[in-house]
Structure 1
């Protein structure tokens, strides 16, 4: 089993390989991580997902653009394909539930949403993914069919995030006890609270943590 320092070294290397969008290296390092008996869930969250979070920050700062984002996603998924089958849910991840997930109407950017979905699935949540450019009424209609504990909405554009307050209002009218969390580049904790959301997550890793806290409140 890898030592603490060796584990940190492997996680940093996986992070860097994703940021450098090196698909082959990412896959190799993930196989090495398994060989050295490091928890694959940690590999996903602190290696692969951490790398994608850094990529997202580079994209926000306009140091990376869509091609780099897509290449990094390929590296991320190459590693995920190797690690995900080996996950044994940690005892710490006991607060699993059902998530209704989608990108709000008018927004076709779903890379972040897909990453959030992957993190939830890795943590043992059941997901109903509505995709991108989801009409507000669609969230309500699907909530009637899928018994979600939480509705998670994302937006990458300031124009599309303006639909969130109405969506949250409609969801709460339909199911008063539903929990709603939001995320995306133009949002903040303050904006989420102003919109009436129950939770806000700045990135995919935080989304899993926030959802777990919400469901046990």
Structure 2
């Protein structure tokens, strides 16, 4: 197998092949940054582009994200302490009272696949946990997800607490989820809203000024 097979494996959502090619590349002494930058990130950008164009759908994104994560798990131990490997740091979670995580996990996987360091807080995340993690990690972006109209307003609570903690403006805030709209995002003081995982990556890069 050659490294170009890794690109194809991720685009096609083939986990076993992605893992096998990555293990082979590591054994051959190829640097993790080359594997990630030249093949993994480009593959996730390609599947994202195909999604935007309507050529693939959410199940395809999930399979590609799974293949990418399998490959990334091989490389992660080699990246410890290499902050220069990441384009930015993101804290992400589903807000308090909401237990939905499929969409949030897909977005987190897309972020990872496109070069971000991601701290995934899971579901039912309190304002205190968001604020504490952002402060301790010095995150560039905080992402909140909600799938219920009954929990989406908690996003405003988190942003208000962010202001009280003196972190508002220091960390960019992105929101998303089925009931969320761009106007709602603006009304609560978020910096950005996107409706899908690929658009989230594009916006995150714009918010912190990276290509």
TM-score, structure 2 as length reference? 0.61
Q: Which residue of 1 aligns with 2:45?
A: 50
Asked if 2 retains the 8 angstrom alpha-carbon contact of 1:52 and 1:76, the reply is no
Asked if 2 retains the 8 angstrom alpha-carbon contact of 1:171 and 1:178, the reply is no
Q: Which residue of 2 aligns with 1:39?
A: 34
Q: Structure 1: any 5+ residue segments left out of the alignment?
A: 1-5
Q: Distance in 1 between matches of 2:47 and 2:152?
A: 22
Q: Distance in 1 between matches of 2:170 and 2:139?
A: 6
- What secondary structure sits across from 1:133 in the alignment? coil
Q: 1:15, CA displacement in angstroms?
A: 5.1
Q: 1:196, CA displacement in angstroms?
A: 1.0
- What secondary structure sits across from 1:161 in the alignment? coil
Q: Which residue of 2 aligns with 1:111?
A: 105
Asked if 2 retains the 8 angstrom alpha-carbon contact of 1:192 and 1:199, the reply is yes
- What secondary structure sits across from 2:92 in the alignment? strand
Find out whether 1:77 has 2:69 as its counterpart: yes
**More moved, 19-28 vs 31-40:** 31-40
Asked if 2 retains the 8 angstrom alpha-carbon contact of 1:45 and 1:205, the reply is no
Q: 1:134, CA displacement in angstroms?
A: 0.8
Q: Would the alpha carbon gap of residues 70 and 139 (structure 1) be closer, same or farther in structure 2, given more than 3 Å must change?
A: same
Q: Would the alpha carbon gap of residues 62 and 195 (structure 1) be closer, same or farther in structure 2, given more than 3 Å must change?
A: farther
Q: Distance in 1 between matches of 2:90 and 2:46?
A: 24
Q: Which residue of 1 aligns with 2:93?
A: 102
Q: Would the alpha carbon gap of residues 30 and 206 (structure 1) be closer, same or farther in structure 2, given more than 3 Å must change?
A: farther
Asked if 1 retains the 8 angstrom alpha-carbon contact of 2:11 and 2:47, the reply is yes
Q: 1:172, CA displacement in angstroms?
A: 1.5
Q: Which residue of 2 aligns with 1:166?
A: 157
Asked if 2 retains the 8 angstrom alpha-carbon contact of 1:26 and 1:75, the reply is yes
- What secondary structure sits across from 2:138 in the alignment? coil
> What do the CA deviations read for 1:167-201 (whole angstroms, capped 9, x no partner)?
21221233244423214354565543333112446
Q: Structure 2: any 5+ residue segments left out of the alignment?
A: none
Match of 1:24 among 16, 24, 31: 16
- What secondary structure sits across from 1:132 in the alignment? coil
Q: 1:73, CA displacement in angstroms?
A: 4.1
Task: Give me the CA root mean square deviation.
Answer: 4.5
TM-score, structure 1 as length reference? 0.60
Asked if 2 retains the 8 angstrom alpha-carbon contact of 1:165 and 1:195, the reply is yes
Q: Distance in 2 between matches of 1:44 and 1:51?
A: 10
Match of 1:131 among 122, 131, 151: 122
Q: Would the alpha carbon gap of residues 55 and 139 (structure 1) be closer, same or farther in structure 2, given more than 3 Å must change?
A: farther
